[in-house]
Amino acid sequence: MGQRLTDQPLPAAAACGHAVMDLGPDTSVLILLKHCRDMKQQETRLRRISLLLLLLAAAALLAFTCWAALGCEHTPSGHGMNTVNGDGLQLEEKEKSPAFSKQQGVFPRGAQANSNRLRIDLSSRSDGHSSDPRYVQWNAVFGEEYNEEKRAIVIPEDGFYFVYVRIALSCHDDDEASDLETFHAVLHKWNEAYNATVTLTEAWEGVACAADGHRGVFVGQLCDLLRGDHVSVWIRRGYRLISKAAFGAFLA
């Protein structure tokens, strides 16, 4: 009789048993370590590339900042091109550079003009031996913000102003030698908005006509003033003692 062979399927564990046995635990650990080493090398390379790109970006930003601050596009003297604006005025090419534009943004022309808007100095006008009290009448040395009718400096805009008064006092020939003349000056402000006279500051002084009969009075104060304020000097006593005086204000 011939021998009959019976094909019986082997268990799955037995079928792949040789493969599992071939790898072994040591081989699996080595493959895992090699994979981890490759991942660390890739991560190191990515970090180096990122650091290099960051350094390049920082260097480019620094170069651009330096170029903008120093005006790298400034043309040599005598070779700059001029353009004409809408008002027919010539503008130099440097005004179109980024550095000039940046400076204009920080210090616009309007702000520079405002900082010089009020500069006024006045000198006293001779009124003879007038009676007290009264406001001093002035002649303008420079500046146009003077209201002759109100005898006051007119404030053009809100801000802090330094206001000063300088007065020279002296006795007259008709003053008795033993008299002590009293001088009292008051710095007033007035505005149509609130229509009230406010005292900013005042000064007292005494002149002894028995001695040399000369004194000097100076008043200076930083004042928070509003647009439309009228600042004036009012002499309560001793107007006749004024030989000369100066009065002025400027935006601080």
Per-residue model confidence as pLDDT tens digits over 37-69? 888 888 888 888 998 898 888 888 888 887 777
Supply the pTM of this predicted model.
0.53
pLDDT tens-digit series, residues 93-148: 444 445 444 444 443 444 444 445 789 999 998 766 667 789 999 999 999 899 99
Q: What is the CA radius of gyration of the chain?
A: 45
Dist. CA 182–CA 139, nearest whole Å: 25
pLDDT at 3 (0 to 100): 47
Other beta carbons within 10 angstroms of residue 217's beta carbon come to 20
Dist. CA 5–CA 162, nearest whole Å: 122
* 232 close to 247: Cβ distance less than 8 angstroms: no
* 205 close to 166: Cβ distance less than 8 angstroms: no
Task: Please say if the pLDDT value at position 181 is more than 90.
Answer: no
The answer to which of 52-56, 162-166, 204-208 has the lowest mean pLDDT is 204-208
pLDDT, mean of residues 167-189: 80
Percent of the chain with pLDDT over 70: 65
Other beta carbons within 10 angstroms of residue 221's beta carbon come to 12
Q: Residue 33 in 3-state DSSP?
A: helix
Dist. CA 1–CA 177, nearest whole Å: 171
